Amino acid sequence: MSTTTGTLTSPRGGRRAVDLVVRVLVYVSALIAIAPLVWILVSIVAEGLPAILSASWWTQDLAGTTDRRAGGGALHAIIGTLEIGLVTAVVAVPVAVMGAIFLIEYARGTRWARLVSFTVDILSGIPSIVAALFVYTLLITLLGLGRSAVAASLALVLLMLPTVLRSTEEMLKLVPDSLREAAYALGLPKWKTVVQVVIPTAFSGIATGVILGLARVMGETAPLLILVAYARNLYLSPTTSNMGTLPTMINSGRNVAETLPGYSRVWGAALTLILLVMGLNLLARGVARAGRLKDR
């Protein structure tokens, strides 16, 4: 800041003070932003670690166990979360990728692209509870079906669809037109150009988006509350009306007294969910990095 020569002194006291105050404020704001993350992660690991370290956590469900009794595990909820997440992805990803292909490969710059793009924005702003109500009105009120794990997946599709579509769209945009031209010049029809040249070129980016979308829906709770009842037992059929998941396991145990064994299982479920979601996030970063390295 200060210099030895007389003519090159730093700004006057007032200006300098304001600059310093702002500097302190921006550093403090970053601390405020990061502190909750650290607090949440540390407390969940501390409270949840004992529960997930027992072997039964990963191999048993909660059948026959009450909040007053120790033992049992989260297998039912882990399987439920994975299953609902996978069913969601199986429905959402093809629609999202084809939608992105429509936007970039077929309708780029047209008013149809603008219309679809606009509705994707709206879709990405729909609160999860509204998506859940919509599926409820469609499947349960209008079609007379019961609650089911698949119904929950369909609500989650509404949440995953715009995320994956947007990220796929961004990745397809990054594929240079020269590659499309090279493929056309080899006599490839358009669809083969897209499937065999454009998609493979953008693959790691698309996969990153899919994994991040999956992490997001696996942590969602609201649609599960409305569309599928929580079960303490392991159920595998996607059409079952009762299925446990990690978020609803936390929700159902949130008011258990701190002294009971059930309380530590709530934190165990929270830690398991965090591990799952963070694991997927790290995986996504890894896939994205692998893709960048390959390009070099």
Strands (E), 224-270: none
264 CB contacts (<8 Å, ≥6 apart)?
Answer: 47, 48, 50, 51
CB 259 within 8 A of CB 271: no
**Closer by beta carbon to another protein, 64 or else 286:** 286
Binding segment (CB under 8 A) for another protein, from list 8-16, 55-63, 64-72, 231-239? 8-16
* Residues that contact another protein, how many (by CB under 8 A): 110
Name the DSSP class of 228.
S
Binding segment (CB under 8 A) for another protein, from list 52-60, 68-76, 89-97, 234-242? 89-97
CB 154 within 8 A of CB 91: yes
Place of tokens 């059929």: 237
**Closer by beta carbon to another protein, 97 or else 234:** 97
Binding mask 127-166 for another protein (x = CB under 8 A): xxxxx-xx-xxx-xxx---------------x--x---x-
Binding segment (CB under 8 A) for another protein, from list 52-60, 62-70, 71-79, 111-119? 111-119
Residue of 56, 67, 203, 242 interacting with another protein (CB under 8 A)? 203
48-87 positions binding another protein, by CB under 8 A:
none
HSE of 217 in the Cβ direction (CA atoms, 13 Å)?
36
Concatenating the DSSP letter of every residue in 115-179 gives HHHHHHHHHHHS-HHHHHHHHIIIIIIIS-----HHHHHHHHHHHHHHHHHHHHHHHHHHS-HHH
Give CA separation, 212 vs 72, 142, 209, 242, 262, in Å. Answer: 30, 33, 5, 26, 31
Name the DSSP class of 104.
I
The two tokens of residue 179 are 């590659």
Using rule CB under 8 A, residue 206 touches another protein: no
Rama region for 144: left / alpha / beta (φ>0; ψ in -120 to 50; rest): left
14-43 positions binding another protein, by CB under 8 A:
15-16, 18-19, 22-23, 25-30, 32-34, 36-37, 39-40, 43
Largest CA distance in the chain: 85
Using rule CB under 8 A, residue 292 touches another protein: no
**Closer by beta carbon to another protein, 20 or else 236:** 20
166-185 positions binding another protein, by CB under 8 A:
176, 178-185
As measured in angstroms, the least distance from the Cβ of 94 to another protein is 8
Using rule CB under 8 A, residue 196 touches another protein: yes
218-277 positions binding another protein, by CB under 8 A:
218-222, 225-226, 229, 247, 250-251, 254, 266-267, 270, 273-274, 277
Binding segment (CB under 8 A) for another protein, from list 57-65, 67-75, 91-99, 231-239? 91-99
Using rule CB under 8 A, residue 194 touches another protein: yes
**Closer by beta carbon to another protein, 18 or else 236:** 18
